[in-house]
Amino acid sequence: EAQVTQNPRYLITVTGKKLTVTCSQNMNHEYMSWYRQDPGLGLRQIYYSMNVEVTDKGDVPEGYKVSRKEKRNFPLILESPSPNQTSLYFCASRSGGGYEQYFGPGTRLTVT
Amino acid sequence: KQEVTQIPAALSVPEGENLVLNCSFTDSAIYNLQWFRQDPGKGLTSLLLIQSSQREQTSGRLNASLDKSSGRSTLYIAASQPGDSATYLCAVLNSGGYQKVTFGTGTKLQVIP
């Protein structure tokens, strides 16, 4: 089954404790993205990747890092999480050109 | 910078009514526009994708149109059902070297039995 998976689905952590949210897709897609969703602000793109070792900032990259060492994986790293990073995070992927995006189920992160 | 607006923010209709959701964007340099639905606390489900060269797409009771020159898209839902209750989001894939995606803030739809 074609899908985008994220782990963990729920995470509660404390300020400053490094964490990684994993994202994996099995569709051999070139493009992958991370978004955060906040009430009243909608979905905003954090980082995206056009292929292995090619990444770029979205609209809200501060406080986040990404890497793309393999085509299928695109982890999101929070080196020193802060409470303002409490949010619902989505990973997405799509093939090259103007094809539709496929979204993961989301990761609900709470930073206390 | 691309801005995407969805009006209305919320909509309540009786079951069986036909309805139109609106999405407008400020920069017409886009690859495509995609409509999603999101149920509370859930992920995004893709409904329709319209390429920039297309005028409309249809899937079942859903029809989406795109007028790139005026920066507008509509999602038409025929014969609405309570199961259509969800938040509907539009997203544009911006053209250019970086291909960023910009989402609207959504329309929350309630279909009353």
Residues of chain B above pLDDT 90, percent: 83
CB-based contact A101 B42, cutoff 8 Å: no
Residue B31 at interface with chain A, using a CB cutoff of 8 Å: yes
CB-based contact A99 B49, cutoff 8 Å: yes
Nearest-CB residue to A42 (from B32, B100, B104): B104
Taking residues A57-70, what's their average pLDDT?
95
Residue B46 at interface with chain A, using a CB cutoff of 8 Å: yes
The overall average pLDDT reported for chain B is 93
Q: Which of A59-63, A98-102, B4-8, B71-75 has the lowest mean pLDDT?
A: A98-102
- Whether B4 shows a pLDDT value over 70: the answer reads yes
A59 neighbourhood in chain B, CB within 8 Å: 100, 102
- Whether A23 shows a pLDDT value over 70: the answer reads yes
Interface size between A and B, measured as CB pairs under 8 A = 53
Q: What DSSP assignment string belongs to chain A?
A: ---EEEE-SEEEE-TT--EEEEEEESS--SEEEEEEEETTTEEEEEEEEEETTEEEE-S--TT-EE--SSTTB--EEESS--GGG-EEEEEEEE-TTTPPPEE---EEEEE-
- Whether B98 shows a pLDDT value over 70: the answer reads no
Residue A98: predicted pLDDT:
61
pLDDT tens sequence across B38-59:
998 888 999 999 999 999 999 9
A59 vs B76, more confident: B76
Residue A44: predicted pLDDT:
94
Residues of chain A above pLDDT 70, percent: 98
> Residues of A numbered 18-57 whose beta carbons fall under 8 angstroms of chain B's beta carbons: which are they?
31, 33, 35, 40-45, 48, 50, 56
Long-range contacts of the stretch B59-66 (C-beta < 8 A, 24+): B62/B35, B64/B33, B64/B35, B66/B33
pLDDT tens sequence across B59-85:
999 999 999 999 999 999 999 999 999
Residue B24: predicted pLDDT:
97
- Whether B2 shows a pLDDT value over 70: the answer reads yes
Residue B97: predicted pLDDT:
61
Chain A: closest CA distance from residue B101 (Å): 7
Residues of chain B above pLDDT 70, percent: 97
* Closest chain B residue to A90, measured at CA: B43
- Whether B94 shows a pLDDT value over 90: the answer reads no
CB A21 within 8 A of CB A75: yes
A28-63: burial string, b at 16+ Cβ within 10 Å, e else:
ebbbbbbbbbeeeebbbbbbbbbeeeebeebbbbee
